[in-house]
Structure 1
Amino acid sequence: MAPKVSIIILNYNGRKHTIDCLRSLEKVGYKNTEIILYDNGSSEDISEEIKRKFKKVRVIRRTTNIGFSGGNTDAYRYSHGKYVLLLNNDTTVTKDFLTALVNRMEKDPQIGIVQPKIVFQRTKKLQSGCVFFTSTGFLYYLGFGKDPGNKTYNIPMQVHSANGACMLIRREVIEKIGLFDKDFFLYFEETDFCHRALLAGYTVWYEPKATIYHIGSVDNSRYKYSLLVYYSFRNRLVSYIKNLGLASLFVVLPVHTLLCIGLIFAYLFSGKPESSLAVCKALMYNIQNIRHTLQKRAYVQKHLRRLADGEFLLRVTRFPRIEYYLRLFTGLERYID
């Protein structure tokens, strides 16, 4: 019998997208699933409508928004499957996507996390394929904004991080290392989680035989851009301090911090003072909360780490040209991989 998959979907004032997502899941060929819709403090209660239209969907409703990290972590408590699929509500899926993801997992018990090819719904360009680590601390998004049919992006690969819009996780991974860091609220939570899985000896894969479509940034559009900048920069630093080995940390942290300081001035001189201030606040947060972060680091390094950085990090690292880092903030679709 095919292993059971628990599908967790968060909703935050996204009725139309959520219904479209659930309708696409009804057409999926893989049938041994349970669907948990976690309403994360929406002002509009769609519980009864969902129960009426989708009989097999279990709805969990909260009165307050506890963020992407907190919502998924709490929703996980209600799941029972061997595998857990985290799926954004502004996605639509293809018939065989889940079969392809589960097949990849079943081939190798060392695989802890796998993501599909994620295509922008509107432009039909690739949003997320392979995400790699770089020595600067900024991630390398292979294929972003490119043609998803290009053979370069249709090869299964080991990666540093899966995309939180859709990721299939082996349940035992969550039981061993936990799910998302609740302090993150928004951004970088899936990369932090994948990094911990790598430390624990699992691998993270990109499976291009599985495809989903993603509108993108629907929930995030409800937040000010400067707030998104703040969480992105803040959480990235926290994650590296927690997870990197000392030798890697001494290389990456100074370089990344200097680049962040440079971006403070770049944002300021380009007429984006709120973003400049957001990066400043992100750096200050890490200074003010270093003791708390080091406590997390002590736990990760003592209880979760099974591999040294040298045993896995280079395998999921890329060294892009300098142009990449300029394009990262001005338009990655123009960068040639």
Structure 2
Amino acid sequence: MEHIQKKSDIVSIIIVHYLATSATMRLLRTIEKKSTFEVILVDNGPDFTLKEAIQKQFPWVIYVSKRINLGYAQAINLGIEHAHGQWFMLLNNDVQTNAATIDALVKKTKAVDGLVSVPRLEDKNGAAANTVGYFDAWWKHPVNALFVRPRVIDQNKFNKPTRIDFATAGAMLINKQVNETVGPWDNRFFMYFEDMDYCLRLKKNQISLWYFPDIVMRHEKSLTANQDRKQKNVNYHTSLNTYLLKHRGAIVAMMNRFFHALR
């Protein structure tokens, strides 16, 4: 009798592609076809010529595209809609990892009864990307608290599994039940602040976010975002305004715009 894979064993790897085709293909080559892996590639364009190459070289990959650039949050949600696993492994296409590393992250997360976790992200020289942190209380850092800004921590200070408040979504493992509790990623964030918003919602729902310093993935930082600096700035400020309106209201959002105008 053929073995039927249980959903609890399946990891749905969701990769959002935008530009940087060579990075996407390199990532797919390092992720082996496994019975416990389901790989979903969401193509955000811009030319949407990737489908044929994916089907030819990686026929086990589920290719998904609306033939428009949905933005990062909406692309994640689209990938999750097509996912069947109990775990969602979100990966930027400019992250380099392999099957063994993803397996190790899942095992360590289960070992601490965790539901959300992130690895250590390093650049090509082995330097930490410093993409984790905490949301400060009002008494500790009033300005950070007012603008709901996370305080980024030097990852080198951690040498054991640690609970944190914030991490970027470049490589994030999420249990399916978290999405059911916290809700989908906010589609209003086209690029930037979608991960900050999600982490803040995790904190408000008292869901721990675990950081594992001994699980390492390589990240070619901002490989796609740097393609168009002008549009990058527009996306940043638009998302920042949306974030502040959502979590602090119109007055704080207006204060932030005023401070930026003075720069």
How far apart in 2 are the matches of 1:239 and 1:191? 12
The aligned counterpart of 1:118 is 121
Matches within 5 A, 1:235-314: 235-241=242-248, 261-266=258-263
8 Å CA contact 1:132, 1:140 repeated in 2: yes
Q: 1:13 is aligned with what amino acid?
A: L
Number of aligned residue pairs: 246
Q: Which of 136, 142, 149 is the matching residue for 1:138?
A: 149
Asked if 1:57 corresponds to 2:61, the answer is: yes
Q: Is the 8 A contact 1:40 1:67 kept in 2?
A: yes
Distance 1:9 1:83, change over 3 A: same
Aligned partner of 1:100 among 92, 99, 104: 104
Q: Deviations over 1:278-335 (max 9, x none)?
A: xxxxxxxxxxxxxxxxxxxxxxxxxxxxxxxxxxxxxxxxxxxxxxxxxxxxxxxxxx
**Structure 2 unpaired stretches of 5+:** 1-5
**Counterpart amino acid of residue 231 in structure 1:** T
Segment drifting more, 167-176 vs 90-99: 90-99
Cα distance in structure 2, aligned partners of 1:129 and 1:233? 18
Give the structure, 1 or 2, with the largest relative contact order (CA under 8 Å, sep 6 or more): 2
Which residue matches 1:206? 211
* C-alpha distance in 2 between matches for 1:25 and 1:239: 37
Q: Note closer, same or farther for the CA distance 1:161–1:170 as it changes in structure 2 (3 Å cut).
A: same
Letter in structure 1 aligned against 2:120:
K
- TM-score normalised by the chain length of structure 2: 0.83
Tell me the SS of whatever aligns to 2:241.
Answer: helix
1: CA distance between counterparts of 2:149 and 2:206? 23
The 1:176–1:209 alpha-carbon spacing in structure 2 relative to 1, beyond 3 Å, is same
Q: 1:239 to 1:153 in 2, by over 3 A?
A: farther
- Secondary structure of 1:117's aligned partner: strand
> Could you tell me which residue of structure 1 aligns to residue 224 of structure 2?
219
- How does the TM-score come out when normalised to structure 1? 0.66
Secondary structure of 1:62's match? Answer: coil
- 1:129·1:153 contact (CA, 8 Å) conserved in 2? no
- Do 1:96 and 1:210's aligned partners in 2 also have CA atoms closer than 8 Å? no
Identity %: 25
**2:195 alignment counterpart:** 190
The Cα offsets for residues 115-142 of structure 1, whole Å up to 9 and x where unpaired, read as: 0001123x43111353211342322221
| SS of 1:7 mapped into structure 2 | strand
Match of 1:272 in 2: none
CA distance in 1, matches of 2:226, 2:74: 19
The correspondence for 2:40, drawn from 13, 30, 36, is 36
Change (3 A) 1:104 1:168: same
**What secondary structure, in the 3-state scheme, does the structure 1 residue paired with 2:53 have?**
helix
Residue deviations 1:249-297 (CA, integer Å, cap 9, x gap):
xxxx86x87566334312xxxxxxxxxxxxxxxxxxxxxxxxxxxxxxx
CA distance in 1, matches of 2:111, 2:242: 33
CA shift digits 1:159-180 (9 cap, x unpaired): 1122210000010011222221
Q: 1:205 to 1:235 in 2, by over 3 A?
A: farther
Structure 2 residue corresponding to 1:70, chosen from 74, 78, 87: 74
Going from structure 1 to structure 2, the CA distance change for 1:229 and 1:190 (only over 3 Å counts) comes to closer
Gaps of 5+ in 1: 243-252, 267-337
Highest CA radius of gyration, 1 or 2?
Answer: 1
Query: Is it true that 1:16 corresponds to 2:22 in the alignment?
Result: yes
